[in-house]
Amino acid sequence: MQEEPAQQTSEEADWEITADGLYMATRSFLVRRGYCCANRCRNCPYVNWRNDPQWQPVAPERVRRIRVSPKAVAGARHMLAYHSTQAQHTTSSEEAYHLAMMAHYRFLLERWRS
């Protein structure tokens, strides 16, 4: 007798379980939440915490205008400064990446101010 796969509820789709048994929020959950918590979530759609080369920022219309923690604002400012420095001291092939990241952090800081 073959078991049927269990249907995944929306709550289960919001979390992944790591090999260590830890629960990790999915990208779709974090997008629906609508803001960055600055906890360096592995699947964060707002900030490229893990330097994943395939990472793309969440679409601007998905980011809500809300207040975030001072920690999140400080983290975004720090990363904006980092990418600004890197853009000045890098090859032309990497410069586009750093400029895109700078635009992303400026966008987040603009949204978080309102």
Q: How many helices (H) and strands (E) does the chain have?
A: 4, 2
Which carries the bigger pLDDT value, residue 95 or residue 11? 95
Tens of pLDDT, residues 85-101: 999 988 877 888 888 88
The DSSP code sequence of 15-58 is EEE-TTS-EEE-HHHHHHHTS--SS--TT-SSS-TT--TT--PP
Please give the single-letter amino acid code of residue 35: Y
Tell me how far the alpha carbon of residue 50 is from its chain's centroid: 9
Model confidence at 11, pLDDT cuts 50, 70, 90, reads low
Work out the burial of residue 41: count CB atoms within 10 Å of its CB; fewer than 13 is exposed, 13-18 middle, 19 or more buried: buried
